[in-house]
Amino acid sequence: MTRGLAVRGSLWLGAVNLVSKSSQMVVTLVLATLLTQGELGLVALAVAMVNLGQVVQSIGVYDVISRTAHDPRRMAGTVLTTSVGVGALLAVVLAFAATPITALLGAPDAAPLVRLAALSLPFSAAGGVQMGLMHRDLDFRRRMLPDAGGAVLGAVVTVVLALRGAGPSALVVGLLCTAVAQPVLGALAGGGVRFAWHGDVAAEALRWISVVGPAAVVAALVVNVDYLAVGHVLGPDAVGVYSLAYRIAWVPYIMVGVVLGAVAFPLCARLVREGRRDELAAAMGRFTRAVLVVTGGLYLAVAVVGDRIVVLGARWAPAAAPLVLLCGYGLGISVLHVWYQAVKATGRAELYLALECAHLLLIAVALAVATRYGVAAVAGAQLAVVCVVVPLTWSLLRRLGVAPAVGGTAARVLAAALIAAVPAVVLDRLGTFGPADSLVGALAEGVVVLLGYGVGTLLVHRAALDELRGGLR
């Protein structure tokens, strides 16, 4: 029963993310063809700052909706009041602080974009609480309208404005439209939550926030500090190059890693609530296998065709090397995201905080050393650090008794990758796919890689596929 819920929940949430993140990918490609490196860099810095604000306003409260033993709607109403209030306060703070902060980052022209994007914070807070309630019930079908619908609306607004010459502000206006639409569409989908305040559930939320909140902020810094470092040391043009590589490499993580993590936490929390903690290791094994198999294939395809990023314009050639390195980083981050859900579900949120702090410390040191050498060095630093944090996290899971077996799965994923990569690389060397700036060649090479990986997966992962089919029944 639990396994079937996990599989169906993953598929529904995957469908939601396929629509929403595909629309975001279209936006990224359109902006890459219309904006300069510096303009895309300004947008990336503004969005990075607002992303940090979104994490601060949520400070881990959405997870408590999934794990509370109280009435979840009473908890959701209390969390809504807290999060929207904090979001409104942060919007005001960013409006006043945008100028000095962007000047410190070496991109003062980003200040108006930060002020406009900050207006989205209270709305994204309201939408996030609705999502938290849906996640508790593993009812991911209802996310299609608010999540995917809001994303598509924002993408359409962004593309139309960009084509009409709005420049960097096009993406920020689209971001604001998405944020406003999400809670409205969520209410129409039956996920509406009313503002409330209940002292008993607020106390539980505050206890959870006291540990998970700081961890969530640290986690946001982990995935945004590279933008800030590149902007401060190398300038907006370098941020634009790095941002394009990062956005492309981020897609498999968002479409697969985040989806599986969103299903894993409420599922693991349910196992703990029902006294079935001994099943966590097996559940983590299935989630780990899924994230390695699926993101492994996607990242392989992106890495193999990475040099073809020049189809968006010759000016983006410097993004090719960082893109390949960030594919390895993205695979590691996807695994970590799933594993962190098990750590939180066991109630050991302080260990989650310790892991995120260790990751932030390591990446800060690595960036201090590497950033001056360019964006490829920054991507290499990200990959090196995640290669340290992954085994560290697995060791902690083993101490908690919930560590998945990963050696066999990793070896089979590597075997499938070799089956796919070898013919694609050989055909490319023979000139089959044409010059690097050929869009048709890029698509053809990507299809060859994915088909080869699919064949390899069928050959080496038969047991896992049988298990997946069993979960669907």
User: What's the CA dihedral at 44, 49, 51, 53 to 10 degrees?
Assistant: -170
Angle between helices 2-34 and 462-472 (to 10 degrees): 110
Q: What distance in Å separates the CA atoms of residue 354 and residue 143, rounded to the nearest whole number? A: 32
**Cβ contact 220:52 at 8 Å:** yes
Q: How would DSSP label each residue in 379-434?
A: HHHHHHHHHHHHHHHHHHHHHHT-PPP-HHHHHHHHHHHHHHHHHHHHHHHTTTT-
- 37-51, 245-259, 344-358, 411-425: least confidently modelled range: 37-51
**Which has more pLDDT, 326 or 65?**
326
Whose tokens are 């904006």? That residue is: 35
Neighbours of 437 (CB within 10 A): 16
Q: Which of 8-17, 140-149, 333-342, 418-427 tops mean pLDDT?
A: 333-342
Mean per-residue pLDDT, 426-434: 86
- What pLDDT sits at residue 7? 58
Nearest to 171 by CA among 161, 183, 181: 161
- Is the pLDDT confidence value at 471 over 50? no
- What pLDDT sits at residue 377? 96
Q: How would DSSP label each residue in 68-132?
A: -SS-HHHHHHHHHHHHHHHHHHHHHHHHHHHHHHHHHTT-GGGHHHHHHHHTTHHHHHHHHHHHH
Mean per-residue pLDDT, 239-256: 88
What single DSSP character describes residue 461? Answer: -
* Residue-wise pLDDT tens digits, 213-236: 777 778 778 888 898 899 889 988
* Residue-wise pLDDT tens digits, 171-192: 889 888 988 988 888 888 777 7
pLDDT category, 60, cuts 50, 70, 90?
Answer: low
- 296-310, 373-387, 398-412: least confidently modelled range: 398-412
- Is the pLDDT confidence value at 472 over 50? no
Q: What distance in Å separates the CA atoms of residue 417 and residue 354, rounded to the nearest whole number? A: 33
- Is the pLDDT confidence value at 31 over 60? yes
- 212 to each of 91, 216, 366, 385, how far by Cα in Å? 22, 6, 25, 22
pLDDT category, 211, cuts 50, 70, 90?
Answer: low
- 284 to each of 92, 392, 420, how far by Cα in Å? 41, 16, 27
- Is the pLDDT confidence value at 11 over 70? no
